[in-house]
Amino acid sequence: MGKGAPIGVFDSGVGGLSVLDEIQRLLPHESLLYVADCGHIPYGEKSPAFILERSRLVAEFFRERGAKAFVIACNTATVAAVADLRQDYPDWPLVGMEPAVKPAAAATRSGVVGVLATTGTLQSAKFAALLDRFATDVRVITQPCPGLVELIETGDLASPALHTLLQGYVEPLLSAGCDTIILGCTHYPFLKPLLEQMLPPSITLIDTGAAVARQLKRLLSERDLIGTGSPEQAQFWTSGDVDHLRNILPMLWKYPGVVSSFGFVKNS
């Protein structure tokens, strides 16, 4: 696994493309591999054991392709699998996600922070631990957002139905006095243009994609593994409908890419 080896990025669906974009921006010489487990989305309805099994399949898939690092660009999969995968592969650079509670607590002026996230993320012990650690001096208002991921997966980023759904999730946060909102799911950064239309300009939106890219760069730098040459074209795999991903990929990823079928399909 030398400098020219690829980086593997994994999500339950297309949301992790928001993280992939940050990696591409910070590390432009890296070849990128991406697996979207769209055949089993949403992960929030799956058991931790099932998500761990899927994560291990993807990890092995990337290992077989010589990936020098593995990014779990999914909050739910990070909670279910990252600790076990770090035990499985102690010498493999592995980066997970976590909601940006610490930077949000530092950014808020009103002392009230809102969190838009999936139900699974908000119910996780890891999220509770983040609140205990970083949010002792601020009030945190959590808002589960059922339905958002599914709409984004269809390529819907601006329909009236999406706008109405999102407005219903945002209004309680504004009513509570939130001036900082955490986008606690990798799908949600794709809604930033819509959110910026419906929110006052004083509201700060925070997600963790850029922080994940910086952590990945740090881990690669420690091992002298940062790429310096011309990268290969990004490769994408999905356990769902290949044609669907091919159709919506240009909406979410502004670079060329090849889409193939991810063959490890298992009924949930």
Name the residues annotated as catalytic.
Answer: 74, 185
Q: Which residues of 75-98 are buried (b: 16+ CB within 10 A; e: fewer)?
A: bbbbbbbbeebeeeeeebbbbbbb
How does DSSP assign 244-268, residue by residue? HHHHHHHHH--S-EEEEE-------
Q: Which of 95, 115, 91 is nearest to 11 (CA)?
A: 95
Please identify which residue in the block is written with the tokens 């159709």: 247
Kindly report the number of other CB atoms within 10 A of residue 131's CB atom: 17
Q: How many CB atoms lie within 10 A of CB 266?
A: 11
The alpha carbon of residue 219 and the mean position of all alpha carbons in its chain are separated, in whole angstroms, by 18
